[in-house]
Structure 1
């Protein structure tokens, strides 16, 4: 059985190792690029990737979520011809939509460059950016199909290979250009080459698994529900795209300039690469969602789904606490050190981004629940909030970068509150206990206060983190029944370390 406890346990191992490698390599890549590119080139580079992230959400049309939602159901209850038809249809639609988007962008490069305040010397870089958009989207789609089939070993290996190859090729290029300057064009050419290789590899593995996957002769799959799902999710994604960091980056570049966009993205990516990949709801989403869909559709029991969601939301708060501890006590020094002295006095930005990350991680759990329980219409309605993020950010950007970040924080929390209220009607015990939240807040306060007055940066960071970890062992935020969920999912040994912060 593809979604058995045994395969799930193996998938968790490959998933964790792959995410750790990917997270580490991506962080090295971020710190490397901010040093080797000048401020303007780095600002344009991250603006191009902002366009990638904006269009990735806006143009997904539900095609990214459909594999995670329906592949487990087809494999569990469907037939092989239905499975193959599903994969081929979605893959064809994805490529067709990307060809149209890339063509439109290609013929509007000059207008796009003017809107983004990109100087004439860098206009040609946008052509590489358009090619990069196509390759990245195809790669991510293929990797998602592998993940939905619980082929985590291959999917995570290929995902981790991307930043590793990019770092390696940049280092080789730096040796080659030892007497010259590493340019924006060089960075984009390396990215195009790497993602072209990854597209070939992931597409080939998708073809092999689609061709060879063995399914029993079960009931026919009703494709009508796929189109209804994609219709609702398309609206959700289109609205949500205006609240993504990608769209905000584009607005900052057009109003405050590409250098301010560079600062915004550097801190946001620093938080993402160092913390986001370690957020349980992010790490386990593509792994747990197929499993929960399979179990829920088979038994109709929503209680276990609710308990898993509560546990994910609780675990999300633990890495956020570490981030806030460091940001409060050593934020300015941390940003200055990691940016090679290019960005100063940005500690407040760091702390706000960590809080936003925590809110978005909890929001991803709520979104997952709405998709599992087929509440996609409510998902669409609440996503309308994010559609007004872009115009609100545009209006507040005249007051500076800090006002933009505060606006983002407010919009994310507003959306989460509405979704939580809706889900509580169906899942009455959804959420983290107030007593647990208070205990975690106390742990963060004590840890930050302990390291705040230590002059040595490195010692202060170590003491702050160690104090926080000790406080977790003392307050024990995880209950015994919550830890039992790990064992029931077959991953108790993999996450045995959580026993230290589990109540007896």
Structure 2
């Protein structure tokens, strides 16, 4: 078992995967930023608002079609690989993806007769002819995303990241060309995205088959694993399905759809810009970007050792890195949000500046939520999450009440209140079951202090010099200097980060004392 763990999830395996992970994520980020800037700057406001509604519908269908299979794959693929049961892992991946593809295909077909009603409710009747085509794009996108996450669970970062990066690059390049020749319209955006998603999905399938054929140990393991663990896996999948449906009314898609129904097109477009940048940030902050590395590592390590503190230490470390990276844009947007968004969107959406700052604060609380879910999933205590998901969904009612009073800020307030309350309940339940989190709150407090001091410096410069650009520069320099003077990391965490940067990690899971643990409680 230890040999299989070291081979597939040891520190040396992580180091090798990390390079592909970072390169692929970087190119995917560049493609995503390119598309976002093009659409915000070039696409007419009315068409951009329709595009935002289309995206929200696909995200909602993603939740509705979350039947629990994907969560089962994320939970048990790392466990099977870490314990050397390759045959069962490959079978689970193949049949799991096949079953989900069948169910999702049927559900997407069932949605077609409802499109006229959907278009009427969300004020996109003028573009109803395009909606079925965007459903096809969404179908391809979800398939590629699911498969890429499964490959990431096996730490096949090269195959997963590069395939998605190439698909994103194809879509971005087509849109750049259309913008240059002055032909970037909503229907052509849908065509470009469909082409990119098709390329990504094709490359992912080919990479999956190639890695399977190259694995000389693919037949090693117990083919009867599913029979012995079927009840356990099905129970886990059913709870995962309930959890996904219980959070149906929380998040980006419900926010957009509520705004599409209740607000003018101009405000929906403002929300679309702020929410798109927030979703972009969500993809690249560690609690999401590194989740494809953190989840399999945590699950594999927990399967190999059974030590819950391994999961909490890793989660605490990732959460603080998350806050460090979010602290800088929050400070910048607090000081010069409207000016920055006016420059980015060619003067179309300056009002999105402060709104984006608010959503980034929500994102910080969601980062903690993601890591708490990881802990609960490792323990297979999914019932803990059910009631808190329902609480988060119910927070949308706060937004319904606040939208006429404070506008789009009602969404920020409701999302923030729902997530904070849900996180507090999960932490209390874990403690009640005897699972101590042991997070370094003292180190977390330093991040808040660094952010507050940077904001104070930026506001002082803005008031004294009247230059938003100079204020932003001072915020960046102050924040960086404070992080260097007092990094919010323990000594062991600093050693691990330094080793990763120098590419000198050595896999020693059998000798934990010689290898610093992420999130260790030493100063």
TM-score (norm 2): 0.88
In the TM superposition, residue 143 of structure 1 has moved relative to its aligned partner by 0.6
Q: Tell me, in whole angstroms, the C-alpha distance in 2 between the residues paired with 1:375 and 1:503.
A: 29
Over 3 Å counting, the alpha-carbon distance change for 1:128 and 1:313 in structure 2 is same
1:263 alignment counterpart = 270
What residue is the counterpart of 2:203 in the other structure?
201
> Matches of residues 44-443 of structure 1 in structure 2 within 5 Å?
44-77=50-83, 79-120=85-126, 122-175=127-180, 177-178=181-182, 181-213=183-215, 214-215=217-218, 216-218=220-222, 220-221=224-225, 222-273=229-280, 275-399=281-405, 400-425=407-432, 426-433=434-441, 435-443=442-450
Q: CA deviation at 1:350?
A: 2.0
Secondary structure, counterpart of 2:500 in structure 1: coil
CA distance in 2, matches of 1:217, 1:186: 49
Tell whether the 8 Å contact from 2:358 to 2:412 is kept in structure 1 after alignment. yes
State the Cα RMSD in Å. 2.4
The aligned residue for residue 478 of structure 1 is 489
Looking at structure 1, the residues matched to 285 and 438 of structure 2 have their Cα atoms a distance apart, in angstroms, of 19
CA–CA separation in structure 2 for the residues paired with 1:374 and 1:293:
11
Conserved? CA contact 2:332–2:455, under 8 Å:
yes
Are the counterparts in 2 of residues 67 and 144 from structure 1 also a CA contact under 8 Å?
no
SS at match of 1:249: helix
Alignment of 1:462 with 2:473, yes or no, is yes
Between the aligned partners of 1:41 and 1:48, the Cα distance in structure 2 is 10
User: For the residues of structure 1 that align with 2:221 and 2:448, how far apart are their CA atoms?
Assistant: 53
- For the residues of structure 2 that align with 1:84 and 1:302, how far apart are their CA atoms? 27
Deviation, 1:17, is 2.1
Indicate if the aligned counterparts of 2:28 and 2:164 stay in contact, CA closer than 8 A: yes
Distance 2:283 2:504 in 1: 16
Contact 1:389 1:408 in 2 (8 A): yes
Q: How far apart are residue 100 of structure 1 and its match? A: 1.8
Give distance in 2, aligned partners of 1:210 and 1:394. Answer: 50
| Contact 1:67/1:145, CA 8 A, preserved across alignment | yes
Match of 1:43 among 33, 39, 49: 49
* C-alpha distance after superposition, 1:250-302 (max 9, x if no partner): 111011144322211211221332x3344222222111221221121122122
After alignment, is 92-101 or 436-445 more displaced? 436-445
Deviations 1:394-435 (A, max 9, x none): 3433332111221111111111111122223443243232x3
In structure 2, the partner of 1:451 is 458
- How far does residue 218 in structure 1 lie from its aligned partner after superposition? 4.7
What runs of 5+ residues in structure 2 fail to find an aligned partner?
Answer: 1-6, 506-517
| Greater displacement, 381-390 / 409-418 | 381-390
Shift of 1:212: 4.5
Q: CA deviation at 1:106?
A: 1.6
The answer (yes or no) to whether the contact 2:398–2:410 under 8 Å persists in 1 is: no
Distance across 2 between alignment mates of 1:182 and 1:278 = 27
- Mapped partners of 1:339, 1:204: distance in 2: 38
Q: TM-score, normalised by structure 1?
A: 0.91
Query: How far, CA to CA, are the matches of 2:99 and 2:398 in structure 1?
Result: 33
Residues 324 and 168 (structure 1 numbering): CA distance in 2 closer, same or farther, change over 3 Å?
A: same
Alignment check: 8 A CA contact 1:271 1:353 kept: yes
SS of equivalent to 2:380: coil
Q: Is the 8 A contact 1:72 1:293 kept in 2?
A: yes
Q: Shift in Å at residue 170 of structure 1?
A: 0.8
- Check 1:345–1:284 CA distance in 2 against 1; reply closer, same or farther (3 A cut): closer
- Are the equivalent residues in 2 in contact too, given 1:22–1:163 (CA < 8 A)? yes
Q: Give the total of aligned pairs.
A: 492
SS in 1 for 2:295: helix
Find the aligned partners of 2:13 and 2:308 in 1 and give their Cα distance: 22
Cα distance between partner residues in 1 of 2:10 and 2:486: 34
- Could you tell me whether the CA contact under 8 Å between 1:58 and 1:240 is conserved in 2? no
3-state DSSP class of the match of 1:64? helix
The 1-side partners of 2:100 and 2:223 are apart by: 27
Contact 1:276 1:282 (8 Å CA) reproduced: yes
Q: Is the 8 A contact 2:270 2:351 kept in 1?
A: no
Stretch deviating more after TM superposition (51-60 or 208-217): 208-217
Could you tell me how far 1:485 is from its partner in structure 2?
A: 5.1
CA 443–383 in structure 1, closer or farther in 2 if over 3 Å, else same: same
Question: Could you say if the C-alpha distance between residues 189 and 67 of structure 1 is closer, same or farther in structure 2, counting changes exceeding 3 Å?
Answer: same
Long gaps (5+) in structure 1: none
Q: Which of 32, 41, 45 is matched with 2:38 structurally?
A: 32
16-25 vs 190-199, greater mean Cα deviation? 16-25
Structure 1 residue 376: deviation in Å? 1.1
